Every structure is written in C-alpha cells, then in structure tokens.
Structure 1
Amino acid sequence: MVGQGLNSGTSVFIARMGGSTAFAGVLAAVFSAAAAAARIVCGPLVDRAGRLRVMVGGAALLLAGTLVPAVSSNDAVFVVCRIVQGVGFSAATTASATAAADVLPLSRLGEGIGYYGLGQALAMSVGPALALFLVNTDPAANLYLGLAVIAALGLVLAALCRYERNPSRLPATAAYRRLYEERRELEHDEARGGHGGAGPCAARVTDNRQARGAAPEPSARGLGRFFELSALPGALPMVVLSPAFGFGIFFVGLYGTSLGVVNPGLFYTLSALSMIAVRLKSKSFMDRVAPLKICTASTACGLAGFLLLLMAGSSDLAYYAAGILYGVCLGVSMPLNQSVAVKNTPAERWGAANALYLLASDVGIGVSSIVWGLVNDAAGFPATICCVMGCILAAWVVAWFSYPSTRRDRKKA
C-alpha cells in the first residue's frame, strides 16, 4: 500500500505544491530505477543474510523515505527520498515474497502464494485510492504522514516474522524446514564420521535435492548470481502482462472521469472485492489445474474487462463491471506467475527467483506509466485500451511457450 500510494500520490502532491509535471515524471522514474537496481542486490542477499534482516531493513528504509518528505519540500530531498523508497520497497517485497513461499506446505504452494498475492493485488487497488484521498486533504503533506503510519505498521509486522529461528514449527514439507533439516543431517554426518559431508546422510540429502530438481551444489555465474534464471517461465509472461495492470493503476480513474462516470473510484473497490473472492476460491484450482488453463481463463477475463471499458461510453454499469473482471484477472495472474516462477526454482534460490519475478512486474508497470501516457496523448483512450488488450493476449502467448507444463504436454503429444 505504501509503495503504490507513493507512486500515485507523489505526482498530485508535486502539482499541489506548484511543481511541474516533468519533475513528477522524474521522481517516478527515479523510484522505478532504484527499485529495479535494488532487486539485483536483494535477491542473493535474501538467500544469504536471511529473510528477516532484509525485510526489516527494507521496511525501515521505506518508513524513513516516506516520513522525510512530510517535513521537507526541497527538490533534492525528494529525489533522495524516492531512491530510498525504491530500495526499501524492493528489499521488503523481495524478502516477504520469499518468506511466504518458505513456510507453505509443498502441496498447497500455489494456493498459499495466492493468499500472499492478495496483499499485492489489494495494494494496487486500495493504495492509489487512499493516497489520492490523503493528498487532497489539508495540508497535502498528510499523504506522507498517513503512508508513514502504514509503513510503521509494516515494520512492526516484518519484525514478527521469526520462523527462521525455529523451522521445526513449520509444516513438514515446507521448503525452509526441509533445507534446515538437510543442513542438520550434513552437520550430524560430519560430526560422526568426519567425511566432510560425504557420508550416508550427505548421500541421502543429495538424492532428496535431485528428486525435487535442485542442483547438488548451486554455483551460479554471471547474471545468475543475482537472478535465478529458472524463474523466467513465470517472469516472462508477467513482464508482458504487467503493463495492463499499469494502465489500471495510473489511467483507469482518469478514463472514468473523462467518460463522466459518477464514481470512478468504485472501479478499484469492485476490483478489490473480486480479487478477494477469487483468492478465497484458489484452493479449488491453483494447485490442481494446469497453469496454462488457469492463465487462459484469466486472459479471457482481462480481455472481457478491457473490452467493456472500451465500450463503456456513458454506461457507468459497464465501467463498474469491467472493474470486477479486471480484479479477477489481476487476482489470478499475479500469484499464478509467481507460483510458476517459484515451483520451477530450487528452494535454495527462491530469493533470487522472487527478485526476478518482481523485477519483471516493476519494469512492466514502470515502463507502461510512460508509454500509455504517450499513446493516449497521441491517439486517445480507445487506442490505448486496444494496446492494453494486445499486451494481455501477448502474455498468454508467452505463457504458452514458457510454462514448463506446456512444454511437457507438447513433448508428450
């Protein structure tokens, strides 16, 4: 909520303070660049230093970067704060995404990531609406004070994430517990035989790692040192699809206003409700249905939603119905792609895998904030919405080629 609120509210705050649109655009680009650059470091850092340390550190940076603009309106301070916000946002979200996957039972990994992703999806709907409310109060600096309160709550919750100290309390098939028990076995083997990890326990651990697709001794090189490239099957569809969500975040409210919709913000409320509903039902399909089939249903909802937007005209009902379908698409596709990325990756590299997945989302949404603005200025909202629908369809094509299950099905055929 803090990250999305800062993205949508900062430009309005700058305008209220008499700043230029160009400067607001620079601040948006600074945040996106800082967040993307931080992903490079945060992925391996989460795997090495631990989830709690990175999550708490990121939450603290996000709190500091949000609170300072409330007391200083200097342009240079704003730029620095946007950098701090971007780094903190990346660290906290990368660590929390990895922690969520760590503690889930293996058989319900997709369902659990769906529940975790509900927080991401709701933030993309609720955060902008809250920020716009706060920035339009008097004084406008209430935007940063209000978001700082939420950031402080995030810091407290992050500090309560203590499972790394007692992995035995996790489900028996949880990845973090399995890795912990494997390390214990290796240490026990070394203590008993002094074989440097070459005893029977080590052999059993190696067999277990190979059975679940993990490399016996991970030794990534090049770009793989920072990102887990085996997560690309989930990250590639996301980078193509996320511009559609960027349009929803940055432009749907403006589009509704241009149509004369009575309450454009209701689009976000209805999308949030539909996201909650579909996530609560995720148990029935997320781990039981082939990913491509789920992706196909999500794609159909997304296309139908934006088609309704395109045809809305003066119909408030069509505009609101589009919000419901948009919420279903967002609520399914984000955890689906994340679960594909995680399931295709050794547990030892989940931090780097989540960094790559989240970077794909950051890049898609960040670039779309510029591209859709240019397209809209040149050709209007109808042309922009058609381009958005093209992104949704293209993401399905990418998923068809990249999802692991799809490749296996084609080989069998």
Structure 2
Amino acid sequence: MNKQPLWTKNFLGVSMSSFFLFLAFYLLIVTLPIYTMDQLGGNAAEIGLVVTIFLIGAVIIRPLSGIWIERMGRRKMLAIALAIVLVSTFFYIFSHSLTPLLFLRFFHGIGFGMATTATGTIVADLVPESRRGEGMGYYATFMNLAMVIGPFLGLTLVQFTSFTNMFIVCTLLSVLAIISVVFISIPKIHPGELVSKTFFSFKNLFEKSALPISIVGGMLAIAYAGILSFVSVYAKELDLLTAASYFFVVYAVFLLASRPFTGRWFDQYGENFIIYPAILSSAIGLMILSQSTSTFTFLLSGVFIGIGFGTLTPALQTIAIRGASPTSRGMATATFFTFYDAGIGLGSYLLGITAISLGYANLYLLLSFFIIGCLGLYFVLHGRFQNQKKQKEELQHEIHVQ
C-alpha cells in the first residue's frame, strides 16, 4: 500500500513559518538580557522579567487561542497572530527604555502563543492520520533547528553589529513567517460546537481528552527548564563555557539523527515504545550532566538529553492531538502548550531557588530522579491504556473484516 504524502507544499509552508517564528524567539531570548543590561541599565531582576513576561503572555492566551481557532477558522487566526508578531518585532527598534520593552514582550508573547497554536493545529490537519507521529516529529524538527541557529545568529549579530540591526533582522524573520504561509491551502474544518455557553468555563478553555498527557508534558517541561535556563551558568561554574556553546549543537545533531526513526516507530509500534525509552534517556542525560567534570561528559549528556527531550515533546503533542476530534484539535494543541509553557515558566523560577541552596550539580541529579518519577506519572495517566486501545482497534478490525 502506498504511503500518503507527507512532504507537501502546505506542510513545508507551515513548518517554515514555524521555523522563522522560533528563530526570532530564540534569537531574542539570548540577546535581550544583554540588551537590557548594557543598553537599558537593567538589573538581574529586570532581566528575568523581560524573559518571563513573554512566557506569561503566551500562557495566558493559549487557552483562548484554542477557542478562537475553532470559532474564526485556521487561516484568519494565523493571519491575526502573525500580524501581532510582526508589529511587536518591528517596534523593538524603538524600545529605548524598560517599560515599553516589557509591554512589547507581553504583546509579542500573545502573538507567539496564538501563532504557534495555529501552526500546530494546521499541521495536525495536514499530516495523514497513518503518519501522524512521523509528521509531527518532522514538524518539531524545524523548531529544534531554530533552537540551534537562533542563539548563534543572535550572539553573532550582537558581536558584529548594533542592536537596532538585530531587531531589523527579527522583523524580517517575522515577514518571512508570513510569506511562508501566503500561498498554502489550509483545510477547512467546520467550527465545533462549544460544550458550554459560558465562554470562560473550564470546558471551553481546555480540551478534556488532552488533559492527562498535557499534565505529563507540563511536569517534564519543569525539568527541561533546568536545561534551558541554567546549563550555560553551570558550564561557566565548571570552567567549561566553550562546551556550553556546543551543547545544543550536539543536542540537535542527535535529535535530528533519531527523528526519522522515532516518528515512524511511534506510528508503527505505539507511543509507549517511544516514550518510555525517551524518558529514561532524559534521566540518564541529566545524571551524566550532574557528574560532568570534562568537556566529553558535558557533551555526552547532550546526546542523551537530545534524544530524550527532543523525542518527548512532539510525541506527547501527537498524543494530545490524536485524542481530540478534528474540530477540537486547536483546543487540544492549546491545552498541551499551556501546560508545557507553564511548566517551563514555573520550572525556571523554582529550579533557580533550588540551585541557590543545592548547587547546579545537585539540581541536575535531583532532576534525573524527578524525570524517573514522570515515567510513573505517564504510566498512570496514559501508558497503561495503550494495550487496551490496541485490543479495541484489533477487535474493530476483525469485526470489519467479517
């Protein structure tokens, strides 16, 4: 039987739009702290606020985005979101004090939360059902590439040109995100009937079927926040700062090397076949990181963490989307990323406090055991039901054949 096509013009267009969105995001996340400190005279608390307020905007808007995308349609929602992102990145050029910068970060976070909910939902509509794990994995690869290129590009621009030019580059990236989806065809899904007439009810803000796996994703994101927020500081403490610059490169290389297999195995053998080893790989990586004393062990941890966390995010997102009806995919996507973003935000704050008293090495050791605990949580909330689902599908197939 011939496989349904995956690499279509529409799939590539949405994936490239997501790539440019995340490229600007990662570029700014490493350069705005420097801009705040050097150009605006900000202190450590204000630098943290510049990073956090973006995430607050994204977390607040995601549940509402899930409703809006079903009510107004995919294309209109994406157009509004990308327009907000473009306006935000353009006005960074004129943010010469902290207050307007904070306002723009919050506004940008709202646009980013809306846009990434829209692109994730559209991709879920475009990917064939039989190749959903594989397709969502490749879609996530574009974001992973942005995570590697963005910081490198940002720090290079800061070193060799002005912050104004850097903000112009971010604006151009936002324009490219729009151009990427101008000529694509977006599947038309008839708006779903919202369960309750009360707009701000829990049922309307979150997709019930996506909640269990979203809780797992949120808990794993707490641990991932320890990588994003503190790995460079930890490397400096170990006098391995050069290694830190290659950590995410190693992370991305092994993630990309594993991606063609993990997505296909997800579709072929089921989610447990992928998620249990990925959680264990993440735990092993964090344990190696906690004991690192050399460049080799530091980068070796990136191998396991790249395979682990790099596999988990698209796999969990696929589960969240797969359990929802076509008219509820927007809400399922929003539900998953609401918990995931909240986990990263909460993790950054709580782990920062923990690191002060325990130190970074002990923090990563603690997180390795925390991840193993998440394995148990996944089993309770989702993993134990996979065999039941398989048996049901096999029974339905036998009935159909008869």
Normalised TM-score (structure 2): 0.84
Distance 1:80 1:319, change over 3 A: same
Instruction: Map Cα deviations across residues 301-350 of structure 1 (whole Å, 9 max, x no partner).
Output: 1111112211211x111111111211111221011100110111111100
Tell me the equivalent position of 1:304: 284
Residue 6 (structure 1) aligned with residue 28 (structure 2)? yes
2:257 paired residue number = 277
Structure 2 CA distance for aligned equivalents of residues 401 and 68 of structure 1: 47
The answer (yes or no) to whether the contact 1:237–1:399 under 8 Å persists in 2 is yes
| Equivalent position of 2:303 in the other structure | 324
Residue 137 of structure 1: how far off its partner (Å):
3.8
Alignment pair present for 1:232 and 2:237: no
Equivalent AA in structure 1 for residue 280 of structure 2: A
Distance, in Å, in 2 between the alignment partners of 1:229 and 1:242 is 20
Long gaps (5+) in structure 1? 168-175, 184-214
Counterpart for residue 95 of structure 2: 72
CA 1:388–1:123 in structure 2 vs 1: closer, same or farther (change >3 Å)? farther
**Matching of residue 59 in structure 1 with residue 37 in structure 2:** no
- Once the two structures are TM-superposed, the CA of residue 382 in structure 1 deviates from its matched residue by 1.2
Greater Cα shift, 271-280 or 125-134: 125-134
1:253-284: CA deviation from partner (whole Å, max 9, x where unpaired)? 22222222233211111111111112122343
Distance in structure 2 (CA, Å) of the matches to 1:374 and 1:142: 36
Q: State the alpha-carbon separation in 2 of the partners of residues 384 and 110 from structure 1.
A: 32
Larger radius of gyration: 1
Alpha-carbon deviations, 1:204-251, whole Å to 9, x = none?
xxxxxxxxxxx9x66246212122121113211110001222222221
Structure 1 residue corresponding to 2:370, chosen from 387, 391, 400: 391
Secondary structure class of the residue paired with 2:124: helix
Aligned to 1:263: 243
Matched position secondary structure for 1:286:
helix
Determine whether 1:406 maps to 2:384: yes
Greater Cα shift, 332-341 or 258-267: 258-267
1:107-126 equivalences in 2 (<5 Å): 107-126=130-149
Report what 2:195 is aligned to. Answer: 219
Q: Which runs of 4+ in 1 moved over 6 A?
A: none
Q: Residue 274 of structure 2 aligns to which amino acid in structure 1?
A: I
> Does the 8 A contact of 2:158 with 2:166 survive in 1?
yes
Change (3 A) 1:135 1:378: farther
Equivalent position amino acid for 1:11 in 2: P
Question: How many matched pairs?
Answer: 363
Structure 2 segments unaligned to the other structure (5+ residues): 1-22, 392-402
- Mapped to 1, the partners of 2:163 and 2:153 lie a distance apart of 13
Q: What one-letter code is carried by the residue in structure 1 that aligns with 2:328?
A: R
* Structure 2 CA distance for aligned equivalents of residues 86 and 93 of structure 1: 10
- Equivalent residue number for residue 226 of structure 2: 247
Shift of 1:59: 1.8
**Relative to 1, partners in 2 of residues 1:410 and 1:346: Cα closer, same or farther, differing over 3 Å?**
closer
Task: State whether residues 125 and 249 of structure 1, in contact with CA within 8 Å, keep that contact through their aligned partners in structure 2.
Answer: no
AA in 1 matched with 2:256: I
Are the structure 2 counterparts of residues 124 and 248 from structure 1 closer, same or farther at C-alpha, using a change threshold of 3 Å?
farther
| Cα deviation 1:26-45 (Å, max 9, x = unaligned) | 22232121111111221111
How far apart in 2 are the matches of 1:390 and 1:134? Answer: 39
In structure 2, how many angstroms separate the alpha carbons of the residues matched to 1:119 and 1:88? 19
Q: Counterpart in 2 of 1:100?
A: 123
**Residue 33 in structure 1 maps to residue 56 in structure 2:** yes
1:367 equivalent in structure 2: 346
Query: Cα deviations across residues 55-95 of structure 1 (Å, max 9, x unaligned)?
Result: 22212211221221223312221121011110110011000
CA contact (8 A) 1:227 1:352 kept: yes
Deviations, residues 128-164 of structure 1 (Å, cap 9, x unaligned): 3433333344423444233222222112113333223
Residues 70 and 144 of structure 1 are in contact (CA less than 8 Å); yes or no, is this contact kept in structure 2? yes
Q: Which residue of 1 aligns with 2:112?
A: 89
Change (3 A) 1:141 1:347: same
1:107/1:287 contact within 8 Å kept: yes
SS where residue 19 of structure 1 aligns? coil
- Change beyond 3 A, Cα 1:218–1:85: closer
| CA distance, structure 1, for counterparts of residue 68 and residue 194 of structure 2 | 15
In structure 2, relative to structure 1, the CA distance for the partners of 1:34 and 1:21 (3 Å cut) is same
Match of 2:150 in 1: 127
| Cα separation, partners in 2 of 1:31 and 1:128, compared to 1, 3 Å | same
Asked whether the 8 Å contact 2:219–2:343 carries over to 1, the reply is: yes
Over 3 Å counting, the alpha-carbon distance change for 1:135 and 1:396 in structure 2 is farther
Q: Identity percentage over the alignment? A: 24
Structure 2: distance between partners of 1:283 and 1:299? 16
Root-mean-square deviation (CA, aligned residues, Å) is: 2.2
Distance in 1 between residues matched to 2:312 and 2:325, nearest whole Å: 22
Partner of 1:287, secondary structure, is helix
